[in-house]
Structure 1
């Protein structure tokens, strides 16, 4: 049946010892120092190896510029829309794929120019003395470094390392990817500058720049990147609309090469300006194109009627023939011109109506004025339709919002509906006017029939020639007008502050962030390690642990020995360690007096497991008794693992076992030591039945005989946590000392001791904390040193022999303290 005493581990409740954790953490200061050194070294190496990141910007304004040649009398309309409609579109266009494709293609930024920096290859755009012209019809080696070394001013060497038997190629004509077979290994060849290099994997012509500087013997690198990848990178250009001025845009870009950034920012704006001006001139361009195609046909007709007129008048008296028909001819020309104007208007309206119903792209519509239409409703609506259609086309790759496209489509549909109504109304009016003109022409033609045949033929030929000439001159005037207005148009986008490298612009790497991170990681990593040790380590750390785990009194604290043998008290009697054992001796004498023990006094020393310093404490406690001139004897009763004889340089051939089995007398097994008043009985040969020997009557008899000869009998017994031998000896002992060792004895062993103590299996037990360091890595002291009241402080100077420092740092510190300490001259 279980006893409630078996559950003594419930008695101590664990709680986090914050002060202890801080002290333990501080004891690991070397770990923190090393961790910080490593972290800051890595941060420094990272910072110096990272390429510097620069940020540059340019500022532009968007303002609708009026054409100085555009007046109320101008028959072409070019300016439409407004700034508010353009700014957002321009901001989106600058980030669009289609726009950046144009810029990257123009600058050929898919070609990378590199040179060897201090730690790695760096972007050398704008610094290298050459450039390459590639043939886009052929593939270029993809993603592989091409080393270029100049052997002379006009000779260079190409070196390429091929890791396989095939290489990937970029074909920039259509941005496709291909492969070609190559010879595995290193390819090397020499070429002349300006020479066309035609290889299966390389097609270029290397040209030297103007004023290249000295470059012979230098090495550079060229590589070809993915066109789409480069474009995607530049789509990240930052475009901000100024909050204070809605028509101002600020463009900024970051990169490792300022020359590349400057050129890209300025080029992207220039491409935008060109495209915007081209879109702005679209109306005039369409009109000129329409007029040019019409004039080509009119020129042919004019030439044909001119030749016909020339042939008719040849050999005839033209003045005589013209008499009598001049007035009728002038009237007919006037009617024919009016009829042609009305016909052109009707043809334009029919064409416009068909275009509106069957097409979705209206950017190619010619101006209504080419047909002589000056109806402001039609002119303005056609110009708006062209503008909206052009903007929608530009936003195809820049905007992904379906709602915006629906808004454009709704506006365009509304304008189309209005135009269709305008066309229907205008056609009715024109049809009536055409009928009236046709009647006038019929009336004039009937008058002509009364004239002679020669006059009728001349009027017929002259009528066609004059009509063609009039129409041709009209178109020629409108084309000239369109050219003037188009030439006078300016872009609505202008530079306020072009991008320029004026120094500075450094935005990275963030070295401060890396150092802060190093500071944090250099602290947190060892801290986590200490934190893990603090919670995972289940060993006794200090006196507080002992007080929390058991109610058994702590009789003394023994420091860590700094001698090779276990005879620390005898070898260094003035050390702090010796004083700790003297303190234990005083406490034992108090306990013996309290228990009224007269005569010889028996002390049993045991521990939980081997290695806790049980034998070390037995020898030194016996030594301090002997040094007080008390006859003392140590009996080695750890029959399974005898050790006590080594420190005294005596033999273990005979010992307690020989006496217990009746082979030797007591006098024969007692061996004197070189320490006065101290004798030893070793354990002797290892017996097959140690527990039975300890329980024998011979053991009782031996102890009784020794009590008659000695003042103190110290029993060095086996560990109580491993075997039961020590429990058998407990009844014969006046005091039991239980040795635990700092950072060695497990807390569970104290629980086992509590259980046996509460079951009365052992009595009169006290605890010794052995091998204690007040600043140990795994423990902390709260003012304790070696024993109670003795330490390494100034008070102990002159009373104790200092232990030799165990490392070179401690020795140096001791030497510095000795040399810098002021001398005491009070006794001079």
Structure 2
């Protein structure tokens, strides 16, 4: 049979071998079992010590109606932009107002065996406190109810443990705070204190200024349907009742707050108009007085005032345009002043309201909306980071840029308005000069100019009066139609942690981790599992495969004597037969057995091969050449006082060191005392003399050599042997050891070197991975297939867990 092509030995498994994978998986099944136990235990501990989180939600529909438009055709001054209303709902000002209606200034807790429980609206006592020392905010304050009338408070303030005795139902003036504690149900308190002897209750005083920021992190506002203007308000918290109250109070309060905010916008517009009216009233009075005085001084009466109707109509039209442009310019001046004065708290809603009816409302409003989004984003970030953080500095820079862009845009619009006013004024002056040329009287022209100024102020005043009336009607007619479509109910189950998903994910993680271990074990499995691996990496002939001995090998390693019909005995008989195909010349044969490292079974093989050869009426002797770590004397249960070392040292004659065994025709020589120079002794001529003498007396001389991968003591006997045999142990010897075989063949020219695979696991072969080679594999095709093996020694009764975990060999 031809061997496969020799491959280069890789550090990892470079080909897919399903059967090897299953074999390794079975050998390492303990890992996924441990992982599953750890995962289930970890999941249970997580569920046990993680507080539950509840989610509540409420749905509202935003809307408003200007009832004034049903009576008078007035334009609405209110902006119903859905995005702006949502941002208003998210603002800290609104949240602070809404949450102030809930009892959130004091948080009450009750001790549990594992977790503490919040007693929202359910505490057997209430606390009313005025904090004097702000460092007391957020500090747990424990209560020891000494009696129904006395309580001892204990807390840590500024690193110091403090205790304060207070009285119930009365104001207690303490250095840190003024506090009143009322007890509602002392029986519940007594029962709780029977479980926890002291400090079974505690409370935390919350800073009113930071309550909104603390809860806003868990509040979510999402648009459900932009066309219908429906939004969902949701909140997640560890107390179900509190979570439900928070979303309901936000939904209820927004309708009121929205109405007030829009009324405030209308008030700002009316206030602005009133200020302008006051200024114009003074100007109008002054211009009327100036006109009357001018008429008296120059003797101008109604008869002399006969201007050309067409020109005066044009002048009046120009004056109307100047009035409108001046109103636009005054609005922009007001906005510019607000942007400059209100650096950190720009009231965007007021500025947008002032822009109502302006010709340039769209452009400036979009810029103001962008500025509003940036200010709200900075406000949200300030809840999470400090004002000195890079995020805030970057946002401040963007806000400054946006303000400069706004101011520059407003200045540009004001300049354009001023240019248009100048053009209209120049046209009016041109028409007035024409009138002067027609009448020939300068006084009439001067009077016309005064009259024009008065007319402009009068028209401007009348225009503001009309606007004031329009905005007053719009304000009175605004009605909020925000509707709560779905109120939040107190949830009965938490959304997290979810036991089913936690256990499932933990179990899956454990399984995948176990599979990962299997894959790593497979990839880096560097041992020789089967005959096929040897055939892949060397051309050396394999003369046999010896099955694994399941029980513990006894001190007397001569198993073929105890179990002559076992699989091991038949495998050795097959090896005995296969040796004939290597060298079938007549005469005595020298068999040299070696391996790479200790523990691969070369001594076991040498002794039992000698026994099998002795059973065939051949005279056999086993020699222990492993003088550094001798074992033959242990296998035959004799002393190691003399042997190879004493023979080679010319201390004892050869015949005096030969000892008989219990097996007929089988003798042995022990290694003898450990010499200081084993390598030098083997190289002496005495070594050759001993081999020639023994070959003259025995049919087979079997030498148990030291491992060639560790020392070179056995190289001489291997070179002079007729049957050099290299032992590998399945699932123990490394694949890289096969290189030693190739090196001995190529460099040392040991052409007859053959290989035996020892301790092959039958469980591995049960997966079918023997590539057609049985334990009796050999060159001539003869196998051990008689079916009468005495293998009771291989049946080891194992417990259920040992069988499951594959513990025991």
Does the TM-score normalized on the shorter chain lie above 0.5? yes
Aligned CA distance change for structure 1 residues 143 and 623 (closer, same or farther; 3 Å): farther
Is the counterpart of residue 253 in structure 1 residue 235 in structure 2? yes
1:94 is matched with: 89
CA distance in 2, matches of 1:361, 1:108: 42
Contact 1:97 1:235 in 2 (8 A): no
Contact 2:556 2:637 in 1 (8 A): no
1:36 is matched with: 36
Stretch of structure 1 that moved more, 120-129 or 405-414: 405-414
Contact 2:332 2:410 in 1 (8 A): no
Tell me the CA shift for residue 357 of structure 1.
7.2
CA distance in 2, matches of 1:434, 1:755: 115
SS at match of 1:725: coil
1:280 is matched with: 262
CA distance in 2, matches of 1:528, 1:715: 45
Which of 695, 698, 701 aligns to 1:713? It is 701
CA distance in 2, matches of 1:135, 1:812: 71
Aligned CA distance change for structure 1 residues 382 and 655 (closer, same or farther; 3 Å): closer
Which deviations, in whole Å up to 9, do the C-alpha atoms of 1:576-604 show, x marking residues without a partner? 8x422432333333322652232433321
Tell me the CA shift for residue 789 of structure 1.
8.2
Tell me the CA shift for residue 362 of structure 1.
11
CA distance in 2, matches of 1:144, 1:232: 15
Contact 1:606 1:718 in 2 (8 A): yes
Contact 1:155 1:193 in 2 (8 A): yes
Is the counterpart of residue 145 in structure 1 residue 140 in structure 2? yes
CA distance in 2, matches of 1:686, 1:15: 44
1:474 is matched with: none
Tell me the CA shift for residue 634 of structure 1.
1.0
SS at match of 1:223: strand
CA distance in 1, matches of 2:752, 2:717: 13
Which deviations, in whole Å up to 9, do the C-alpha atoms of 1:399-433 show, x marking residues without a partner? 67979998999899999999999xx99x9799579
2:590 is matched with: 602
1:15 is matched with: 14
2:203 is matched with: 222
Structure 1 spans left out of the alignment, 5+ residues:
1-7, 168-181, 294-347, 364-377, 436-477, 815-828
Which deviations, in whole Å up to 9, do the C-alpha atoms of 1:697-717 show, x marking residues without a partner? 443443343334433321112
CA distance in 2, matches of 1:725, 1:105: 92
CA distance in 1, matches of 2:583, 2:743: 23
Contact 1:774 1:785 in 2 (8 A): no
CA distance in 1, matches of 2:413, 2:143: 62
CA distance in 2, matches of 1:795, 1:199: 100
Tell me the CA shift for residue 47 of structure 1.
2.6
Stretch of structure 1 that moved more, 593-602 or 21-30: 593-602
Contact 1:542 1:742 in 2 (8 A): yes
Tell me the CA shift for residue 679 of structure 1.
1.6
Tell me the CA shift for residue 72 of structure 1.
4.1
SS at match of 1:597: coil
1:48 is matched with: 48
CA distance in 1, matches of 2:93, 2:604: 86
Tell me the CA shift for residue 93 of structure 1.
0.9
1:61 is matched with: 61
The CA RMSD measured in Å over matched residues stands at: 5.2
Which of 114, 124, 129 aligns to 2:109? It is 114
Matches within 5 A, 1:557-596: 557-561=545-549, 562-570=551-559, 573-574=562-563, 578-592=566-580, 595-596=583-584
Higher relative contact order, chain-length normalized (CA < 8 Å, sep 6+): 2
Tell me the CA shift for residue 780 of structure 1.
10
Stretch of structure 1 that moved more, 89-98 or 737-746: 737-746
CA distance in 2, matches of 1:786, 1:113: 77
Matches within 5 A, 1:358-757: 359-360=334-335, 381=357, 397-398=375-376, 490-501=479-490, 503-504=491-492, 506-561=494-549, 562-570=551-559, 573-574=562-563, 578-592=566-580, 595-757=583-745
Which deviations, in whole Å up to 9, do the C-alpha atoms of 1:632-671 show, x marking residues without a partner? 2211122333221122221222223333344433332111
Contact 1:36 1:519 in 2 (8 A): yes
Contact 1:580 1:788 in 2 (8 A): no
SS at match of 1:65: strand
Contact 1:55 1:255 in 2 (8 A): yes
Contact 2:21 2:522 in 1 (8 A): yes
Contact 1:603 1:713 in 2 (8 A): yes
Contact 1:388 1:408 in 2 (8 A): no
1:264 is matched with: 246
CA distance in 2, matches of 1:379, 1:665: 124
Stretch of structure 1 that moved more, 280-289 or 597-606: 280-289
Contact 1:727 1:762 in 2 (8 A): no
1:805 is matched with: 796
CA distance in 1, matches of 2:266, 2:9: 98
2:434 is matched with: none
Stretch of structure 1 that moved more, 232-241 or 44-53: 232-241
Aligned CA distance change for structure 1 residues 723 and 88 (closer, same or farther; 3 Å): closer
CA distance in 1, matches of 2:451, 2:530: 112
SS at match of 2:47: helix
Matches within 5 A, 1:236-251: 236-243=218-225, 245-251=227-233
Tell me the CA shift for residue 738 of structure 1.
0.9
Which deviations, in whole Å up to 9, do the C-alpha atoms of 1:233-268 show, x marking residues without a partner? 415522223326432222122222222122222222
Tell me the CA shift for residue 91 of structure 1.
0.7
Aligned CA distance change for structure 1 residues 504 and 394 (closer, same or farther; 3 Å): farther
Matches within 5 A, 1:759-778: 759-775=747-763
1:231 is matched with: 213
CA distance in 1, matches of 2:499, 2:84: 38
1:193 is matched with: 168
CA distance in 2, matches of 1:285, 1:796: 109
Contact 2:574 2:776 in 1 (8 A): no
Contact 1:805 1:811 in 2 (8 A): no
Is the counterpart of residue 80 in structure 1 residue 70 in structure 2? no
Aligned CA distance change for structure 1 residues 620 and 521 (closer, same or farther; 3 Å): same
SS at match of 1:107: coil
Which deviations, in whole Å up to 9, do the C-alpha atoms of 1:358-408 show, x marking residues without a partner? 633999xxxxxxxxxxxxxx99859999x989x979878546797999899
Contact 1:388 1:412 in 2 (8 A): no
Aligned CA distance change for structure 1 residues 703 and 292 (closer, same or farther; 3 Å): closer
SS at match of 1:282: helix
Tell me the CA shift for residue 565 of structure 1.
2.8
Tell me the CA shift for residue 735 of structure 1.
0.9
Tell me the CA shift for residue 550 of structure 1.
1.0
CA distance in 1, matches of 2:77, 2:473: 21
TM-score normalised per structure 2: 0.68
Contact 1:56 1:505 in 2 (8 A): no
Aligned CA distance change for structure 1 residues 521 and 707 (closer, same or farther; 3 Å): same
CA distance in 2, matches of 1:10, 1:612: 23
Contact 2:132 2:175 in 1 (8 A): no
Aligned CA distance change for structure 1 residues 569 and 434 (closer, same or farther; 3 Å): closer
SS at match of 1:60: strand
Structure 2 spans left out of the alignment, 5+ residues:
1-5, 193-199, 276-322, 339-353, 379-397, 429-449, 459-467, 779-784
Tell me the CA shift for residue 687 of structure 1.
3.5
Contact 1:55 1:505 in 2 (8 A): no
CA distance in 1, matches of 2:272, 2:715: 120
Contact 1:635 1:713 in 2 (8 A): yes
Tell me the CA shift for residue 746 of structure 1.
3.2
Contact 2:561 2:611 in 1 (8 A): no
